[in-house]
Amino acid sequence: GNVSGLARCATVYSVRVLDCNGRGPYSVIIDGLNYAAIRIKDSNRPAVIVMSLGGSFSSSLNQVVSNVVNQGIPVVTSAGNNRGNACSRSPASNPGAITVGSTLIGDYINFNTNAGPCVDIFAPGAYVTAASHTCSTCSCTKVVSGTSMAAALVTGAVALLLEKEPLSSPDSIADELKYNCLKNTINLIFLDPSYKSNTNNCFLHIKKCTDVCDITPTSTSIMTRTRPSIYVTTAEHTTFSTAITTIAKSTTLTCATTSTNTVTVTDDATLICNSTSTHHATKIHNSTSTHHITTTYHTTATRYTSSICNTTSTHH
């Protein structure tokens, strides 16, 4: 959030679909994806879903992703870190999703990123500073690498585009990202030779864009911009810490959890942006300033909420 990010005013929602070890059946991921789509439609606000997860090819999961995209909701997916073909993975193989590979410092392709024709765009995915749940003060960070980082950055870019054009379709957003990306600037030296000819050498680049947070309110200006939502399908700890904190700052964070048969929104996991009233965050009532809390993602599991920090400065 405060350390790094793109769409600082996006409202971020976490939908837990994986366990503490970062694993879960496709049925739960599908439930979480459908839940996020329903929330987005009910909110009547522009939104993007990021899926920094993946597994073997699944026609069922791909179909649900297609259904969501066909409803006008952009879906960003990580290509995966298997040094293989993203087309053999889901949801990365879905043609309607924006699938993201990762690069190293110096614009070299990452050693272990998946590649191939199903990867639409690449973004930085090495040594990214992200929030961490490993300290009691909610102020620690960690450095993380992988396509989850890259997907987070692209999601932030999508959110900025939605701020400017809230009615943009998933196809138009994908087209704009591909049109504006830097072509053939990524050094593919570490890429498996069998993928060099069919991998899109397209590096994330968007035109200078003013975040809605940076607009000075006037009688007309603020009415032309919309704060988008970002829905993250996430694990209890790992995926959220690596995916979300590279995107948003000063955001409202609402954590949700899903099980195989039901979807439950935890009533102690809502943090209100720029507010001293955390009436839904029952476990952090001693925190007088919660407007920058982006690291209490472990509230997606209520059994972890007893140790949330009691602090007057949750600046990250």
Q: Which of 179-183, 195-199, 214-218, 263-267 has the lowest average pLDDT? A: 263-267
- Residues 81, 76: Cα–Cα separation, whole Å: 16
Is position 157 within any domain? yes
Report how far residue 126's alpha carbon sits from residue 191's, in angstroms, rounded to the nearest whole number.
16
To which residue do tokens 């942006």 refer? 273
Residue 79: CA atoms inside 13 Å, Cβ hemisphere, count?
35
Q: Does 2 score more than 80 pLDDT?
A: no
Q: What separation in angstroms does the CA of 167 have from each of 100, 103, 306?
A: 23, 30, 41
pLDDT at 28 (0 to 100): 95
Whole-number percent of the chain with pLDDT over 90: 51
CATH number (domain holding residue 145)? 3.40.50.200
The helix or strand, by DSSP H or E, that contains position 170, with its residue range, turns out to be helix 170-180
Residue 132: per-residue pLDDT? 72
- d(CA 184, CA 201) in angstroms, rounded, equals 5
**Is 307 contained in some domain?**
no
What pLDDT score was predicted for residue 4?
A: 64
Q: What is the mean pLDDT of residues 164-181?
A: 95
Percent with pLDDT over 70 in the chain: 65
Domain count, the chain: 1
pLDDT per residue as tens digits for the range 105-148: 999 999 999 999 999 999 999 988 776 767 776 667 788 899 99
Q: 157 vs 143, which has greater pLDDT? A: 157
Residue 290 is assigned to a structural domain of this protein: no
3 domain residue, yes or no: no
More confident residue, 280 or 83: 83
Cα 122 from Cα 103, distance rounded (Å): 7
Domain that holds residue 224: 11-262
| Cα separation, 145 vs 155, whole angstroms | 16
Neighbours of 88 (CB within 10 A): 15
| Residues contacting 21, CB < 8 A, separation 6+ | 235
Least confident interval from 45-49, 229-233, 237-241: 237-241
Which of 141-150, 178-187, 295-304 shows the lowest per-residue confidence on average (mean pLDDT)? 295-304
Contacts of 298 (CB under 8 A, 6+ apart): 133, 236, 237, 304, 305, 308
Residue 312 within a domain: no
Residues in the chain: 316
Asked if the structure places residue 281 within a domain, the reply is: no
The residue whose two tokens read 């209890």 is 236
Examine residue 294 and state whether it is found in any structural domain, yes or no: no
pLDDT of residue 111: 92
pTM of structure: 0.70
Residue 280 lies in a domain: no
